[in-house]
Structure 1
Amino acid sequence: MMPDLGKYADAVLSSYAVSILLIAVLVAMSIRRSRKMKAYLAQIEERVKNG
C-alpha cells in the first residue's frame, strides 16, 4: 500500500504530517472566524432592525 521511500521516508512522512496538521489548523481557524463573523453580523442586523 505504501510506496518504498527508502532513506527519505522520515522526511517525507514528517512533511506529510506537518502539512496535514497545518491544513487542519487553517480549517479550524476559518470555521472559528466564520462563527464569529456570523454572530457579529447577526448583532448588527438586530441593531439595525431595532433602530
Structure 2
Amino acid sequence: MVLGPYAYFIVISYALAAAVVLNLIGWIAYDYRNQKARLRALEANGVVRRSNGATDSR
C-alpha cells in the first residue's frame, strides 16, 4: 500500500483517532464501574430505586 508523500500525516491521524477511541472506551468502562459501586453503596444505606418497583410514599 503506497500512501504517498502524506504517509506520515495519515498514519499519525489514524493513530491519534484510535487513541482517542480507546481512551473513550476506557473512560466509559471506568465510569460504569464507578457508578455501579456508588449505586451499591446507596442501596446498602437503604436508598431504594423507583425502577425496582418500590411504592411511592406520597
For the criterion TM > 0.5, the same-fold answer is yes
Root mean square deviation of aligned Cα:
1.2
Q: Does 1:33 align with 2:41?
A: no
- Post-superposition shift, 1:48? 1.2
TM-score calculated relative to the size of structure 2: 0.74
Q: Which has the higher contact order (CA 8 A, sep 6+)?
A: 1
Deviations 1:6-27 (A, max 9, x none): 0011000000000011111111
- Equivalent positions of 1:3-22 (< 5 A) are 3-22=1-20
Where structure 1 has 5 or more consecutive residues not aligned to the other structure, the ranges are none
- Post-superposition shift, 1:30? 0.6
Larger radius of gyration: 2
Where structure 2 has 5 or more consecutive residues not aligned to the other structure, the ranges are 48-58
TM-score calculated relative to the size of structure 1: 0.84
Counterpart amino acid of 2:34? K
